[in-house]
Structure 1
């Protein structure tokens, strides 16, 4: 990354796009190999199990939190440059959007990032659901759903002084939380006999988030062009990438425009190297409508909440943004409620079938 920043062969806009692609490659490869998935972790947790999927999620979250807080502590990242801390945010959007996103990822069998990763493994269900997520996200950003999202987000707005949790916590709290999450993840991984490679690649996903923050912050300090400081997120960048492909003849370089294809390429590389590519489509037992409804809920919910399970939950959470932590908690609650209701509906359906 240092060589990329110092290179004169690329413009600053080219560097930001290439940096996003590199971070995406790392994220995609590690996410595919670790099977990182918030939905799976939620199902385990609300099912009363502290299992391997929860261990993987905690390893990702803890590593991202630890790496990002270390950057903030040593001056590698300035809180004033972080949008999730330095601008106003919506707690109403975080709560309602997070709940809807949590329900949606249960119905679609994966969050926005997981659908993108699965798309590269030959899963056509994930590809189609992911495309619907991006269309719904764009409609929520500037289309037919935008008035509803804007009205929701205006209900409870908080300023930067409230949004930055670090201002209200003792120094070092973020680092301590990161260490605690990593330690708990390690204990759960050991208890559930999670493979070392799985744990290591889960940590790689979290480090990719920290690398995104470090790269964009460093480039913003040396660039002659405005650079938005940020890291891994999917709802907005996926919509931007899709619109760039089908609407605009020219692509405006950005970190997100490089990130999305980078994640796909990283997941595809992991799938091919480990011979895990397998075509999967919809069938009679899949529930196509369920996928599509879930995708729409995620697209709208992610935009209202300020990000997806990774963008708000991990990336926003790693800088101790209040709205991100509220959105993440709401996603867990929404997923738990949806999982419980879906399980009961399926049990009733099985009983009715048995009685016929």
Structure 2
């Protein structure tokens, strides 16, 4: 199973490096240039994974009702997804890329990303393996979590909610609402004549979505069941044996934990194998294409910004229960409302941070944080234009 995870991620890492599939880049293109092609590629990856999950569940090959993390759980921690997503979105912008892009850049020779991986892994470890989360986050997360079972709703996915409202079976509701959601996405994505010509973006979206789907299949099908049954009889039960797909922030924390006890091979998880596969696939492509380049920080300020961003990524990624891939594609493919909240919050956090950075650059002498923030919110149409404090040239 670890080899399967590595191979799936290896292919994805090579293709993502070649096609420059980048979720933060998608937000940047949209916010700064009005170019939505990479955003549509991301949405296409979501659509491919979503349609695949609908088919696999309808045919009984897998079920994503019980997964790692629990995307469809009855405990709807809505504020956790919003706050975690915002923190992660800010962090990935400061760190020049999400978890997946960090791994891709490491494979391409970017030494800055090794620092980002280390810091993000350390904070993900603190969030998942120590009392850091319990002290700072757990009390308010618990206080704001809605128990959907009290409303006779079996899970936080759209299908379960529609089922509770209409009285129809959950499976029927999931297929119905999932098909509508997928059709809307396809319409939005391919409405653009320009995107229909972007074969590389279409290909990269298809591969990323297929990689997420493949991981769902192998961990959730009969192959995955055998893996889980075998693990129950092992002397050292491996961590993270469950139906799951690609996500990268928590595995960074697992990697940090493993490095402290490298002799304990039971700590090597599916996510860690996928993480290694992304880096290796990217590295192989970089070597074959002769695009491998060493890169380091340009200044102390540059290094500090990346360190802060990495810390926020590790913290926000675990709090939101996923990253731009883990929640933005894997989670959304389950129709989870929590995943959709996290995705929207990540995009907003990243877009707002980019706008603030823009104003701080072009108005270097007068751009206080408040002025940059107000002007950024005006640009994002969240404040009236009369509150603009800086000009957008």
Check 1:187–1:258 CA distance in 2 against 1; reply closer, same or farther (3 A cut): same
1:98 alignment counterpart: 85
2:5 alignment counterpart: 20
Check 1:105–1:272 CA distance in 2 against 1; reply closer, same or farther (3 A cut): same
1:200 alignment counterpart: 203
Which structure has the greater CA radius of gyration? 2
Given the alignment, which residue of 242, 251, 257 partners 1:243?
257
Aligned pairs, how many? 336
CA contact (8 A) 2:103 2:278 kept: yes
1:165 alignment counterpart: 158
Given the alignment, which residue of 209, 215, 218 partners 1:215?
218
CA contact (8 A) 2:64 2:243 kept: no
Partners of 1:87 and 1:18 in 2: how far apart? Answer: 32
CA contact (8 A) 1:34 1:202 kept: no
Q: CA deviation at 1:327?
A: 0.6
Check 1:48–1:122 CA distance in 2 against 1; reply closer, same or farther (3 A cut): closer
- Residue-by-residue CA offset, 1:316-337 (whole Å, 9 max, x unaligned): 1110111111111111111121
Normalising by structure 2, report the TM-score. 0.79
Matches within 5 A, 1:91-240: 91-143=78-130, 145-146=132-133, 147-159=135-147, 161-169=154-162, 170=173, 171-188=175-192, 190-191=193-194, 195-218=198-221, 219-223=223-227, 224-225=229-230, 227-240=241-254
- Residue-by-residue CA offset, 1:95-153 (whole Å, 9 max, x unaligned): 10101111111111101111111111001112211211111111112236322132342
Q: CA deviation at 1:260?
A: 1.1
Q: Secondary structure at the residue paired with 2:298? A: coil
Gaps of 5+ in 1: 1-15
Partners of 1:208 and 1:296 in 2: how far apart? Answer: 27
2:332 alignment counterpart: 317
Runs (4+) of structure 1 exceeding 4 A deviation are 192-195
CA contact (8 A) 1:149 1:300 kept: no
Check 1:155–1:36 CA distance in 2 against 1; reply closer, same or farther (3 A cut): farther
Q: CA deviation at 1:243?
A: 1.7
CA contact (8 A) 1:92 1:155 kept: no
Matched, 1:59 2:44: yes
CA contact (8 A) 2:86 2:348 kept: yes
Aligned alpha-carbon RMSD (Å): 2.3
Normalising by structure 1, report the TM-score. 0.87
CA contact (8 A) 2:21 2:201 kept: no
Gaps of 5+ in 2: 149-153, 163-172, 233-240, 368-393
